[in-house]
Chains A and B, each alone.
Chain A
Amino acid sequence: MSPEFVVFVIFAIAALAGAITLVGARNPVYSAMGLLLTMFSMAVFYVLNDAHFVAAVQVIIYAGAVMTLFLFVIMLIGVDKNEDREEQIPFQRPIVAVLSGGLVLLIVLAGSQAWTVGTGGGTPPGTIENISDQLFGTWMLAFQATIFLLTIAAVGTLALARYESKVLGPDEGDVDVGQSPLRGESSDVEVDQSPLRGESSDVEVDQSPLRGESSDVEVDQSPLRGESTAGEAGGRGESS
């Protein structure tokens, strides 16, 4: 009974309990807490394996940043307690159980053939110095590729946050799609609408910077020129 064995057993139980909580809990906040417990247990395992820097990164990035992001999103979109657990596919739960048990057996069988190989023993400890020697030496190219990956992810997240979809979801998407053909197609509607816009032009000018669409600005400017050409100018602005 070495101390490592005691620590391993305690935190293995904690990790498994966290994982089962993650899968089984009805409330997504409890699922997040279960994942948090598993991640802290992982950090303990990393320390047991002399991976000190990875353990610190695990606590800071995963348990700190990623889980905070998850909790923010859970709170943002609301806690959905009454999740529908009726399975659409017949026999899905038995299939999952059989496949899961089979996968565990397969991994253990395959691993029992292979993971006894290796020298073992004299591992360099995963301190910051040793990690950085490898990371900025051998793996420099991969490290710089992660710069592009993170930049693309940040830009993509910003684009998704500002993107007003006309494809996804007919529920509210029809409102946006329904407004735009009225401006471009029939000139009668435009002439009828143009005095109304001329009256309330102040409101639309105030709204246009919030949307950030360039076409809205042109449509808003068009009633200022005249009533008859307003529809055409707006139509060009939409089509171009």
Chain B
Amino acid sequence: MTVTVAWYMILAAVLFVIGGAGLLLRRNALVMFMSIELMLNSVNLSFVAAGRALGNLDGQLAVLFVMVVAAAEVTVGLAIIVMVFRKRATASVDELSGMRG
């Protein structure tokens, strides 16, 4: 039984949805951030699998750029979380209602 690209796509879709569910269900800002990372990783997996199916390297290059953007996003996001924690002493997003209208 050979592994076709469809297997990778389905696995990537399931991982993406698990990450999205974690983003919707969790309160901790760090866990929400890690869920976003999981979603980015699943998209990377689909890029690589599609790149092999289509016979070129563009998928892998897209993965590299996604990794760069994700690394930049993680640094800024974690700095924001740490700054919020210094002000509010919590990492729960429900506590952060300062911009409620």
Residues on A lying within 8 angstroms of B by beta carbon are: 1-2, 4-5, 8, 12, 15-16, 19-20, 22-23, 28, 31-32, 35, 38-39, 42, 45-46, 48-51, 53-54, 57-58, 61-62, 65-66, 69-70, 73-74, 76-77, 80, 83-85, 88, 92-93, 96-97, 100-101, 103-104, 107-108, 111-112, 115-124, 126, 130-131, 134-135, 139, 142, 146, 149-150, 152-154, 156-157, 160-161, 163, 165, 168-173
- Per-residue contact bits, chain B 20-43, to A (CB 8 Å; 1 contact, 0 not): 111011111011011101100100
> With the chains together, A67 CA to B70 CA distance in Å?
12
Known: A28-B28, A119-B54. Contact between A8 and B7, CB under 8 A?
yes
> With the chains together, A92 CA to B27 CA distance in Å?
13
The 4 closest A-B pairs by CB, nearest first: A169-B87, A153-B72, A23-B22, A107-B13
Task: Give chain A residues whose Cβ lies under 8 Å from the Cβ of B27.
Answer: 83-85
Contact of B48 among A5, A46, A146, A153 (CB under 8 A): A46
> With the chains together, A211 CA to B80 CA distance in Å?
20
A130 and B57 contact, CB distance less than 8 A: yes
A171 and B87 contact, CB distance less than 8 A: yes
Interface residue total, chain B, C-beta cutoff 8 A: 76
Interface of A is mostly: helix
A73 and B52 contact, CB distance less than 8 A: no
A51 and B75 contact, CB distance less than 8 A: no
B87 and A124 contact, CB distance less than 8 A: no
Interface of B is mostly: helix
Known: A38-B38, A146-B68. Contact between A80 and B28, CB under 8 A?
yes
> With the chains together, A194 CA to B5 CA distance in Å?
76
Can you add 11 more A-B contacts, CB < 8 Å, to A38-B41, A45-B48, A57-B67? A4-B2, A12-B7, A23-B19, A38-B38, A70-B30, A77-B85, A120-B53, A134-B58, A156-B76, A160-B80, A168-B87
> With the chains together, A116 CA to B41 CA distance in Å?
22
> With the chains together, A149 CA to B18 CA distance in Å?
29
Task: Give chain A residues whose Cβ lies under 8 Å from the Cβ of B101.
Answer: none
> With the chains together, A168 CA to B60 CA distance in Å?
40
- Per-residue contact bits, chain B 56-89, to A (CB 8 Å; 1 contact, 0 not): 1110110111011111111110111111110110
Give chain A nearest CB distance to B70 CB in angstroms: 7
Return 6 A-B CB contacts under 8 Å, by A number: A12-B7, A38-B38, A45-B45, A58-B44, A101-B17, A111-B10
Give chain B nearest CB distance to A149 CB in angstroms: 5
Known: A19-B15, A49-B49. Contact between A73 and B78, CB under 8 A?
yes
Task: Give chain B residues whose Cβ lies under 8 Å from the Cβ of A117.
Answer: 54
Taking CB as reference atom, which chain B residue is nearest A55? B48
> With the chains together, A80 CA to B28 CA distance in Å?
8
